[in-house]
Each structure stands twice: as C-alpha cells, then as structure tokens.
Structure 1
C-alpha cells in the first residue's frame, strides 16, 4: 500500500512540475516572439505600393499585445489595428519617396462611420502629394465604397457587385422575452428621447426614437452621398435615385452608372499596376501591407523637444473603478487625466472619446478631472464613432470639442433600470425569497420584489436631480443657457452635423485635427505626442487576461452571430441603476 501511495504522489508531483514547466516555456516562447517582432524595423523597397485591406477591426488605439483576439481555432492572430497607427502610417507614406501609391482592396470595413471618415480624409490628404490611389474588390459594401470613392479609379470583379441601398439601423426588442421569463423591468427616466430602456418596455420604436434615428441616419447618409458626389462626379439626386430604384444590382450596372470605372480580374489589375510602376510583366510588384508599414522608419521625424501634447484615450462603457482596454474606469481614467494635468511638460491634452456612456456617477468622477484640467491647460476633445450620454458628459468641460460629421453624440439624459425577478423565480423555478429588515425600505434596491409607489417617486426624484446636474455641466462647459440645453437634451441622439448646428461641438475633424488645434491653443510649433494611459507590457496582459479571453473566445465560438445579442443583454443586466448611456448599440448598415 505504501508503494501505491508513493507512486500516486510521485505522479501528482510530476504532473504539477510538468504543467509549470510547460506554462513557463509557453510564456518564454510568446515573449521571444513578441520581442523579435517588436524590435524588427521594416524596410521598404524602392518603387513600392502600400496595400490597404482593413479586414482587421479598427479601434482608436490598439493594445500593445500581438495576441489580443488571437484565434485559437486557427492559431492565427487577428489583432485590431489602431486608428492612431493608420493615420500616422498614411501621413508617413505621403512623404515616403519609396511609396508610389496605394492599392485599396476592401470589400467590408470593420470600423464605425466616423472612423471610416477619418481614414478617408487621411487618404484624401495622401492624394494631395500627387501619388495615386486605386481601389479593387470582388464586392463593395456601402461603407467600403464610400472609402473607395477617394480613389483615382475604382475597379470591380466583372461578376462582382456594389451594395447601394441607403442606410438602416436595426434594434432588437426584449419585452416579450422578459414577459415569458417573468422578469419585470422597473424603469425611471428623464427625457422623451432617452430610449435606452425601450427594448425592455416596448415591442417597437417609439415615435420619438424613430424620429431621432431617422434624423441622424439621414445626416450620415447625406454626408456620404455628398462626398461621393464630389469625388465621382455623380449628382446627389442621381445617387439617391440609384438607391431608391434598385438600379445597382451587379458589376455591369455599377459601371453603367459610373460607380466603378472598369470591370477587371485580379491578374488584369496586377498588369495595370505593373505598367503604372514601370515593372516588367514577369517581375513582381514591390508592396507592403499597411499593418507592416506601421513599423517603417518615420520620414519627417520631429525634432526632440521637452514640450508634449498628451493624447488620452477613453474607449468603451463608463464604469466605476479601474477599467481595461475595452471599458472606461472612473478611477484609472481620472488618475491618468490628473497625471497629465500635473505634468508641466504636457502643454495640452487631446481627450479622445469613443463611448456610449454608462454609469452616471462614474461620468461625474471623470467630469471633475476634465474640468480641473481644462482650467489648467487646453483640453481638446476628439470624438470618435460615438461620444454620447456619459461620453458627452465627460466631454462637456473641454476647451473645444472636435467631431466628425458622422459621429454619434448628444443623448443628454439619464435613466434608471432595475429588474424585478420575483415572478420569474416563483412561477418558473418555484423559488420564494423571504426577507428580514430593520427598516421599511431596507430592501429598496432588491431584485426580489417590485418598487413601491413611494420608492418609485424617490427614485424618479434622484433621476431628475442627476439630469439637472448633467445639463448644468453642459451649460457651463458649452456656454449655453440651461433651458436651451434641456431643449436639445431630453436624451436625444444627434449626428456630428446636427451637433454643430446646436453648438454641442465646435468644429469638424478627426484626431489629427484635434492635435493641431491643441498645439495652436498651447502656442506650440514643435512638440511630441505622448499616448496615455501607459499600456501594460505584453506578459502582464497575457497573465492578467488569459482566463477571461479564453472564456470569451469559447462564448463567441458557441454563440456565433448571437454573441452580440447576448452581450447587449449582459451589459444591461450588469448596468442596472442610474445610467447616462446611449439608447442601444448603434449599428448602421
């Protein structure tokens, strides 16, 4: 028997030691790969083309982690690209004598409308150098066609197609689902347009929500159509007619109505490019992918200076505590802003916001630090795809606000969402929850009974007071009377175009424009950029997020396209309480 236990113990110890060795070996290999890729500077060959496909997700600032979004099923990396990297690379390519032009090969773009707008503007700036841009694809989505419309020529596979229908936004409603589950949503809100809770209380859009959605969708569509009209030489009226009459259904119709210039195959495209570059037909074209070009040497490097402009990134939903790469934590972001405010070498701050909002209290905590910073040095807000509700709350005290015409913003309003699970537990599961309490309302925020009329009145009063604080901050920061803020508030969502008309933003532009404005406000001609908060090193991120990323990957794999719906429900259940959040996850098709 002693021998048996001896062998069992030895086996267990062996398994533990082997596991530890394999774990540290894995970490070592991963670290070596990262070190090798990070230190390697890319060399660009003479007479090269910059190849842009944008298949990877585009975020404001990509995490310094080559294994973020690593696909363990195929063992291939699928890391997002940072908009900051893309803009810097396109500007560098503009001045790089080795880069002769750009080939866009884009069928779909994994980026929001405002992000696409910023990339398009950067491509237009690239064209000012006199270098060429050509676009080719087997199919073009509306967003990818909008981007491709900057090209000197647009090529399409002879059997391909261009999607040209107009924009739509689809909203999922859960009222009947909750009724079947026996879950009662208890809703408090201010503002007829504060429709974040509508999916839980209605089966279709309210007239107010439909009105605001159509307003900002029409604004974005008009921006796209006007820009395409300018670069393609097709009237706005004609572009709308083509969409309304379903005229664009294949490659031939796209060419007939001048949406594309030529219908060619890939080999014909390569021959065309070789001729353009003066390359023999038997030789290969020198090209470099955009994500590789990120590591190319900088052509016009700034002179070193002590003066700095800090670019602070705030991405995701706003929550209390310390955030992560995909959400905004009140404590961590406040700490970052405070650090930038106290640093005498930082002469201005560019505050890049891409957020649908979230916790009202967390927004207030961040607002305070932005307000203090703006009283010390210029703070320029750069809005991304969305900076609404809590995202606008934290932008309000800035020196100036810059947004794209297609940015989604506004949604100045507050709501409270509390779920009552009493019926679900009783009728569906046969569970009853009893309570002992010292005072009448000790279980005010419980999920196991409905609110009383008195509690609902107190909750609504708190919502009203929070809303008054919100519009007061906007009034003070923007120099607009409170009554006017209330009139354009009420939770209503606006596009960047609408927002400029009602003075919620100051001017149109992207991240690059915001940086230029910050330099101007600070009186700087020479400066260097510092990005904040400082990113964690790869090994730290790997150890910290390994378990969570694995779970998320399993869920995504199991749920497939249903993962988005799951995530929306999970976020709403997590974000109970008082919220300053945009109505829903806006997706424009």
Structure 2
C-alpha cells in the first residue's frame, strides 16, 4: 500500500510539473505576442548591432527572447537575413541616426562577415555614422569595425591583426594506442579528409593548398581593411606580418583605430552626433528588437524567386534542422520546379559536403529544374566537395571572394577494430559465410586485397562521375577540370580565376542575376524554402534534444566541438564527397 501511494504521489507531482511547464511556455508565447507591436523607435535613436550570438543563414522566431526562461531558451541564433534587413531598414529610417557596433568574438564564417560588412558600407552612403567600441577585438571583428567612422578601443584592451592560421588535429597515435587500423580509400592527392587518421602531420599537397587559400583570404582581408583605413596594402601587410599591434596605443599610432577610450566616451560621442547633452540618455534600440521592425513583409506578386537554403552536412534521407537531407532538399527543388509562379531558383549553399549519394540526388533535381527555369547557386562561407557537387549544375555560380569551395574529390573510410576488441576488451569474433564476400564490409577484421580493390573501384567510379558532371556544368574539358580537382580546396577568388565560379558576390547578387535571367527585374517576391517551423513546433519536437545539447555545451565548454566531431563520425555512411577536414580559421 505504501508503494502504491508513493507511485501515485510521484505521478501527481510529475503531472503538476508538466502542466506548470506548459503554463510557462504559453505565458511566454502570449507575452511575446502581446509585445510584438510594442517595439517603437524614438527620434535620434542609435541601432546597436551587438553580434554576440552565432549567426546562421536565416533568423528564427523565439517568443522567450530576453526572458531567460527554462535554462537557456531565448538565446536563438541571429539570421544573416535579418541582420542585413535591419541595416537596410536603418539606412532609410529617419529615426535612426547611426549604428553602434558591439563585436568581440564573432561566431560566423568569413563570407558571412563579408556580407554584413558590405551592408554596413552601403549604410554609410546615407551619410549616417557608424561607431564601434571594443574591449577585445578579434581579426574577424575588426574586419567589421574597420568600416566605422569612429573606433574606440579600451585602454586596457587588445586588438588582433596578425594574419590567419588553421590548425588540424591528427589521431594516428590515438588509433595506434587503441589497436584500431583505419582502412582508407580516396581519389585525389589533395583529398586530405583521411589524413588525420593515418598521418601525424600535414602531407605536402595539403600544406600547399591550405597555404594557398589562407593567403588568398588574408590578402583579400588586408586589401579591404587598407581601403577602409586609407592605407596601402603594403602598410597593412607589414602591420599584420610583423604583428606591430601589441597594445591599443599601437593601433592608434598605425591608424588602425581612431580612439583609445572607454565605453562612456564612445557613448558621449554618439550623444554629440545625435544632438544630445552629456546628461541626456542615449536612445538605443537593440538588434533583437529592431529586427522585428525591419522584418521584410512579403509583397504579393505572381513572379516569385525560390530561395532554397541548403545549410550543414549533406546526409541521406530527410535529414534534420542542422543538415541537408538529400530526399528533403530534392523535394524542395522539385516543388519549386513545378510551381508555375516560381520563375527562377536560387540555391543558397553553406556546406562542407557529405554523402555522395545524397549529393547526387540533389544534383539530379537541379539538372531537371534548370531545363525549365534559371537556377543560380549562391555560395556562403563554405560550398565544397558535396557542397560544390550540388552547385555545379546551376546556370551561374556566385561566391564571395572568401568562400571556401572546390574540394572535388571522393573518399571512404572503414575502421578495423579487431585488435581493439581482442587486445583491449578481450572480445573475439567468429563468423560463418555463404560466399567469399558475404560479410563485406566489416569492421571486425582486416580487409583482404580483393575487398579493398572493390571499395577503391567504387570510390574511383564516383570520382569519375563527379568530375565528368562538374566538367559538363562548367563547360570545360574533363582533363582541364581534373587539373583543378583532386580534392583541392580553393578560395572564391582562386575558384573564379580558374572557372569553377562565375561571379563574385553575395546572395543579393545571385537574386539579381536570377531575376534578370527570368525577365522579372521590376516585380518579384522571394519564396524562402524549406518552410521554417514555428518556435512551438520546434520546441515540442526537439525539446529533449535541445536540452541535452545545452547541458553538454555547458558541461564540456571548449571541448564540446571535439565531442561534436566525434559524434559526426557516426554519420559518415557510404562514400563521402566532403571537405578535407573540419577547420577553424583563426
């Protein structure tokens, strides 16, 4: 009887907590809905661009914005689309007199930063001002703040201008200690995704390609910064290569910033520019609020351009929110092709690649769509390997100068765990087969030469298909294309020089080209795909996963990215057309 009452009480408590949780959720949604129209922008206001969150391609609604409820809700990513829309709206908003940039460590790729920077440069054409203040300013953050009219750096702060670098972790020693033998299959001397498992340092070809595209990115960076600060490229190159900036005074001396000062001094300057006294309160509107005001309303038009966002790794099947499911994205392209109101398609790609099969499924739908309407590919931070695969069928490929692209190559990897199981865990494996290759592929024994040949032939077959299709898409001989392939990674500038990319520019440029090709420049509206779930739909479908991810991030801290990489290894099914490795440019 005591046990009965105990379980009954536990059930009642659980139900109470559930309904209380749902009450909080509904309360938050109701509060957000009620305040949706309460965002007002007063005269002589400053738009604060505080880019302290991860920046994704598309923004997402979060009714818990700023409420800090339920252990971390209300911390949605910013969307590149809504940041651009906010800057664009502020340019013509009579109540906005300037922009205050608040950036330190940007969680965004170089091409994303480039697009925001270009929007800020366009904003300055209005005659309005941009002010930046930093305690610490990273290389990426300075790329943005370099366009500011006034740049304040804390007297005890730090500014990083010392060039770009990229590090790779190698696991050969770890695998040897665990008695795990990797079975490697690849085509292309630059296809170095497998190197971390078989080498303890970069191969010569890999070092060549990384050196090449990093210098291309760095030179582009320095050229634009030099232009913004009225300096020569040679001066900026010397400052960067010799690391002449150690202290804020150095940055001031070399003309990298305009002021060494504190936050209150930056605020006083903005008050002066808006005609306020020092004792007056500065009218500041935050991005998280202003983006609601600047939200672009859909204009009705029979002429539509479908913008299909392909973000994340390419996987088989439907995929999820943070990757590109081959089946799902092929269907999105199919819907756009069959929609008579859609006159052109823009495929926005931000992907390092992934499954060869899924990439080919998407490629097929693009080739079919291209027969009926213009298809333009817009490359974001990364559109390499499988990401390039799904772009190469487009009529025109648009990339940023600092997009990472190319990597036309193929690899496959298996792990022989026989030694690990026996020597480390005491597990042995025996088998019965009906044929010579019945247990192939397997991870519990070493592959024999005949089995290796079968897999290697499959990898080579996919590479031949990949390069042939790329050559056809680029209208160049296969031999010429293969000289650019081999898994080699290029910057957007390098890719444009070699014919792998047609135009340098961003998403707006791709949309402009699509409208012109379709003959609808004067009147069209954008149809963004795939459909984004509402916050409530996302919350209810992924509450458990989201909570687990938050807890892991909080617990693992800086080690979380390595956990995430290990987890992604489980998703590498079948032959892969993927970037050489996951890298972070510092």
Q: Which deviates more, 357-366 or 547-556?
A: 547-556
Residue equivalent to 1:437: 433
> Match of 2:346, SS?
strand
Does 169-178 or 281-290 show the bigger shift? 281-290
Where 2:166 maps in the other structure, the secondary structure is coil
2:264 corresponding residue in structure 1: 267
Report the alpha carbon displacement of residue 112 of structure 1 after superposing the two structures with TM.
Answer: 0.5
Distance 1:148 1:23 in 2: 42
Tell me if structure 1 keeps the 8 A contact 2:62–2:74.
no
- 2:228 maps to 231
Q: What SS does the corresponding residue of 2:147 show, helix, strand or coil?
A: coil
**Inter-partner Cα distance in structure 1 for 2:339 and 2:272:** 54
Q: Paired residue for 2:155, among 139, 158, 161?
A: 158
Long gaps (5+) in structure 1: none
Partner residue in 2 for 1:363: 359
- Aligned residue runs from structure 1 range 114-513, under 5 A: 114-296=111-293, 304-513=300-509
Cα shift at 1:97: 1.4
CA distance in 1, matches of 2:473, 2:386: 15
TM-score by structure 2 length?
0.96
TM superposition shift of 1:65: 4.2
Equivalent in 18, 22, 25 of residue 24 of structure 1: 22
Q: For 1:457-476, what per-residue CA distance to the aligned partner results, in whole angstroms no more than 9, with x for missing partners?
A: 11111111100111111111
1:67 offset after TM fit, Å? 6.3
Q: Does 1:549 align with 2:546?
A: yes
Q: 1:562 aligns with which of 546, 559, 563?
A: 559
Structure 1 6/446 Cα, relative in aligned 2: closer, same or farther at 3 Å? closer
Deviation, structure 1 residue 34? 4.8
8 Å CA contact 1:64–1:535 kept in 2: the answer is: no
Q: CA deviation at 1:297?
A: 5.1
Quote the offset at 1:159 in angstroms: 2.2
Shift of 1:168: 0.2
Instruction: Note the C-alpha offset of 1:262.
Output: 1.4
C-alpha distance 19-285 of structure 1, shift in aligned 2 (>3 A): closer
Shift of 1:31: 3.6
CA RMSD of aligned residues (A): 2.0
What CA distance in whole angstroms lies between the structure 2 residues aligned with 1:567 and 1:75?
20
Does 2:76 match 1:82? no
Q: Could you tell me how far apart the structure 1 residues matched to 2:59 and 2:540 are?
A: 18
Q: 2: distance between equivalents of 1:167 and 1:493?
A: 16
Aligned: 1:56 with 2:40 = no
2:376, 2:510 within 8 Å by CA — same for their partners in 1? yes
Q: Compare 403-412 and 370-379 and name the one that shifted more.
A: 370-379
**Contact kept in structure 2, 1:162 and 1:251, CA below 8 Å:** yes
CA distance in 1: counterparts of 2:513 and 2:367, whole angstroms: 18
The C-alpha deviation readout for 1:494-531, integer Å capped at 9, x for no partner, is 00000000111111111111111111111111111121
Q: Please give the secondary structure, in 1, of the residue aligned with 2:575.
A: strand
Corresponding residue SS for 2:104: coil
Structure 1 residue 291: Cα displacement: 2.4
